[in-house]
Amino acid sequence: MLPDSTPIRGRFAPTPSGRLHLGNAATALLAWLQIRARGGTMVLRMEDLDKPRCKPEAADAILDELRWLGLDWDEGPDIGGAAGPYAQSERLSRYEAALAALDAKGLLYPCFCSRADLLSASSAPHGLSSEGPAYAGACRRLTRAEREERAARKTPSQRFALPPDRPWAFDDGIAGHVAFPPGAGGDFVIKRADGIVGYQLAVVVDDIAMGVTDVLRGWDLLDSTPRQLALYEALGAKPPRFAHAPLLLGSDGGRLSKRHGSVTLSGLRDHGVGPRTLVGYLAWLVGVADRPEPASPQELIPRFDLARVVREAVRLPGDWMASLRESQS
């Protein structure tokens, strides 16, 4: 556990691969409120490691949309700070140092399995919804000679070897007490065969280096937390306090998409929706506000209570665009 005297530091870490949608905005608002209500420091970090998917123009648009929403930050890619740089693509040497440290402890092993191999492993148990099927561990059991022979034919990915008998449990700020069995999610890729560092490692290394004490993120990342706890332990660092915000779903229970209307912030702006209207509506959806009435993020700070945030996915009302416009008047 982190000492009570540790300065409060939170972060919002979007991936600049597209426009922010309602779910992103709700999570960003909650993360901001959690830190501002406690007088902490807010960090903005761009998780842009996957260069084929991430675009500079998308990063610029995210900054603009967050500001339009009324959110601010104390450190970030546009304003700098002592813990910079604040784009993961500029922090590669830190990830390589962490990989070397984990490898020196014997916690990594090469994996030569193809995507087809993994999909055909029908006996492998299904694991994390956000990470795909749990890895059955085929390459963990290879001998040194077998690894050398395969490495001559194919560049491997690198996997982190989870302790096989270690259960994981933590107290989540929204979900409550959460427990996972040993090996939850299986050994995971920590560096891809194409050289791109895995999300799990990068986010842990960055949160350690940036002194992040509180992580509020989407519910879809709840079941990846055991992997990150294992990495914190392996790197000799204390984990932050976690809180996982409810997902926003379409009225049909599916993931937000164009069929549910203008679900991006840019689309809503084009339809004349104001930031105070949207902030108040999102606060009502996730349980922070009693009614969907216009409000700025700053106006929500005095009444913010993490205990009020709902613990289950939120479906947009079938007439949500009409109710949103109604709340604006």
Cα separation, 76 vs 99, whole angstroms: 25
Count Cα neighbours of 37 within 13 Å in the Cβ-side half-sphere. 17
Q: Report, in this order, helix, strand and coil percent for the chain, each rounded to 5.
A: 40, 15, 45
Query: Is residue 154 among the annotated active site residues?
Result: no
Cα separation, 27 vs 18, whole angstroms: 16
The runs of H, that is alpha helices, within the chain are 22-36, 56-69, 92-104, 115-120, 144-151, 199-209, 225-234, 265-270, 275-285, 297-300, 320-328
Cα separation, 86 vs 16, whole angstroms: 13
Classify strands 168-172 and 157-160 as parallel, antiparallel or unpaired: unpaired
Contact 249, 255 (CB under 8 A): yes
Compute, in degrees rounded to 10, the torsion defined by CA atoms 298, 300, 301, 307. Answer: -150
Sign of dihedral through CA atoms 252, 257, 258, 260? positive
81 contacts: CB under 8 Å, gap ≥ 6: 43, 74, 75
Cα separation, 292 vs 119, whole angstroms: 45
The runs of H, that is alpha helices, within 133-173 are 144-151
115 contacts: CB under 8 Å, gap ≥ 6: none
The catalytic residue among 51, 105, 191, 258 is 258
Cα separation, 281 vs 290, whole angstroms: 10
Q: How are strands ordered across the β-sheet holding 241-245? A: 41-44, 9-12, 214-218, 241-245
Active site residues: 258
